[in-house]
Amino acid sequence: MARGRPALSCWLAALAGGIAGWSTPAHAQGAPPAAPEAWVRYAEGATAAIARWLDADDPAAVRLHAYLDQHGSVDGSRATPLVVKIWLHADGTVARIDFTPFALAQANEDLRAVIVGRRLPGRPPKGMAQPIRLEIVPEPVEASDPAGPSEAPR
């Protein structure tokens, strides 16, 4: 990750799109059964790989970070998570993604460039529900970060 640039935190929104609702505690009345362990493990691995792609120093990832830095929350709290739905080919290559578009077309292109067409480690488990849903949240730059926002004048 580039120095002074906040990490993009990725985590599973509800494990996977087809698994959404599957993550509800099994003890809840009317809750569907838990997602198969193989699906959960694969989704966790996919999340880790995509987080690395988003934190890479390639031009599209750097531009995406800059856009998210500029359009994050005003008060320094966490920005609104971006939900990204990811569909995979049988070999684990990202076939397509869906997300609420950004106002800037270049940011939309950059997010696609960072993710679409890249291969995740391993093949998705047979019968795994798709899309995989991720929440991407830009972490605010820490005030102590030398490349972060400067302190207000005294």
pLDDT tens for each residue of 59-118: 999 999 888 878 765 455 556 778 899 999 999 999 999 999 999 999 999 999 999 999
Q: List helix spans (H) across the chain.
A: 37-54, 59-70, 105-115
Residue 24 has pLDDT above 80, yes or no: no
Distance CA 53, CA 131 (A): 18
pTM as predicted: 0.71
Assess whether pLDDT exceeds 80 at residue 138. Answer: no
Instruction: Answer yes or no: are the C-beta atoms of 14 and 58 closer than 8 Å.
Output: no
Q: Where are the alpha helices (DSSP H) in 6-56?
A: 37-54
Look at the block and give the residue holding tokens 């989704």.
43
Structure tokens at 13: 């929104």
Q: Kindly tell me the sign of the dihedral angle through the C-alpha atoms of 39, 44, 47, 48.
A: negative
Rg (C-alpha) for the chain, rounded Å, is 17
Q: Indicate whether 21 pLDDT > 60.
A: no
Three-state DSSP at 136 gives: strand
Tell me the β-bridge partners of 8.
Answer: 138
DSSP three-state, residue 53: helix
